[in-house]
A = this chain, B = another copy of it.
Amino acid sequence: MAQKQLFQANLVYTTGPETLLTLPQAYVAVTDGRIESVSSALPPGFEKMTVRQFTGGFLIPPFTDLHVHAPQIANIGLGYDCELLQWLERYTFPEESRYQDLAYAKLQYRRFIHLLWQYGSLYSVVFATIHRPATELLMQLASQAGLAAYIGKVNMDRNSPAYLCESPAESFRETVAWLQDWQRDQARYGAVKPILTPRFVPSCTPELQRQLGRLARQYQLPVQSHLSENREEIAWVHALDPEAENYASVYDQAGLLGQTPTIMAHCIWNTEQELQLLRRRGVYVAHCPTSNNNLASGIAPVARYLREGLNMGLGSDLSGGHTPGMAEVQRQALQASRLYHTLLDPQSPSLSLTNVFYLATRGGGSFFGQVGSFEPGFSFDALWIDDAGLDAGPERSLEERLSRYIYCGDDRQIKERWRAGQLLPEPFKP
């Protein structure tokens, strides 16, 4: 028999990049974890149900973190005097190598999952490391916490330190073993699924890239990687493959650019030609403003991307980004976009509050299907924002209270987290 639930709350959500809805004390009727209706009056068929009321504050859809490196959690806030390539070598690679130790992985990955829960990123797309056992552990922990996620075992077989470099054959073999483990045991993994994760062109041989492209087709798996984050990185890609038309086309030739659902992180310095390709293939751009600010990578012209119809969401990019908090990521997205307008291109539009809130919820959420809104058919997922501590005052509109939460809020205002109709209890309390 269908499980029915009825909720009443102030709702704040988007139905598109330009459309913010604020519904005071609306009813949400839910069947089997999916929204059946949203209405100002009691919906038919639900009249006799107990209403779960969210008194005070408001509900928003949960955040989707579209790009985050779980094994860099111990490095947040460190090393931002470097740019990308130096930072990888000094900070990132040594830390990631520790994840061959499952006990260390368990300690840190429990912290990571707790942070996702704490900051309301109930959906996420995650880089793990090259290590299969630790990656499987991370997937199990995410599932135990009731989160939905795509998690990838990373592939790296060149230009990486010896302690973190696979052979092409080993990388492929371990990837297949990982996928088979998952297939055998899908029930245990809940809403957590694998995603193919070549780190980026400089650390994957063309041979491995092609093998992963074939795997993507064979298993119908999504793909994630990095694209055009840093100018030095782009020059390196060109030096490695001078024949390629551009950075994006390297992935494309390997079957890793939208042949299956694909996320490319950063996309700061792409050419027009690359952007057309991304759009044609429906590739998702994961915009990571905190990381791009910290590592001085640049500002991606994302207001234009959005207007031109690119698929897009936001990423915390730990530990290039310093925080898992999507409120801070959203405000830095707003700031960066407005500075781009002032400093680099007065003709360009800049992101509005509605735009970034859309990106953080429905935009990124759409990678998971009907996620990130309170529309009928969508998964009933929500963060209950109790903004009393932000002193927004009762005379403020729900839109102003959202603005205050995005600019001044953090995890402290998230009072409850719901996914697929279930209240998520605190996992792995530190």
Contact = CB atoms under 8 A, between A and B. Distances in A.
Contact of A77 (B293, B322, B352, B407): B407
A167 to B, nearest CB: 32
A293 B78 CA distance: 23
A49 interface: no
Contacts of A74: 391, 393
Nearest to A328: B328
A358 to B, nearest CB: 15
A404 B296 contact: no
B296 A80 contact: no
Q: Copies of this chain, how many?
A: 2
B393 A80 contact: no
Contact of A298 (B293, B343, B390): B343
A293 B338 contact: yes
Contact of A410 (B403, B410, B430): B410
Contacts of A342: 296-298
B391 A299 contact: no
A390 B111 CA distance: 11
A400 B78 contact: yes
A430 B342 CA distance: 39
Interface in A22-40: none
Contacts of A393: 74
Contacts of A225: none
Contacts of A430: 391
Interface string A278-297: 00000000000000011011
Interface residues of A, number: 41
Nearest to A115: B391
A406 B79 CA distance: 12
Interface in A316-360: 322-323, 331-332, 334-336, 338-339, 341-344, 350, 352-353
A85 interface: no
A297 B343 CA distance: 9
A296 B76 contact: no
Interface in A74-90: 74, 76-78, 80-81
Nearest to A344: B343
Contacts of A400: 78
A293 B410 CA distance: 19
Contacts of A240: none
A103 B293 CA distance: 42
A408 interface: yes
Contact of A404 (B78, B111, B344): B78
Contacts of A299: 339, 343
A131 B327 CA distance: 35
Contacts of A334: 80, 294
A16 to B, nearest CB: 18
Contacts of A405: 77
Nearest to A296: B338
A78 B403 contact: yes
A268 to B, nearest CB: 10
Contacts of A77: 390, 403-408
Q: Which of A76, A296, A297, A393 has the most CB of B within 10 A?
A: A296
Give the top 4 A-B pairs by smallest Cβ distance, nearest first: A77-B407, A296-B338, A77-B404, A293-B335
Interface of A: 74, 76-78, 80-81, 111, 293-294, 296-299, 322-323, 331-332, 334-336, 338-339, 341-344, 350, 352-353, 390-391, 393, 400, 403-408, 410, 430
28 contacts: A74-B393, A76-B407, A77-B390, A77-B403, A77-B404, A78-B400, A78-B403, A78-B407, A80-B353, A81-B353, A111-B391, A293-B339, A296-B335, A296-B339, A296-B341, A297-B342, A298-B339, A298-B342, A299-B339, A299-B343, A322-B331, A322-B407, A322-B408, A323-B407, A323-B408, A332-B335, A339-B339, A391-B430
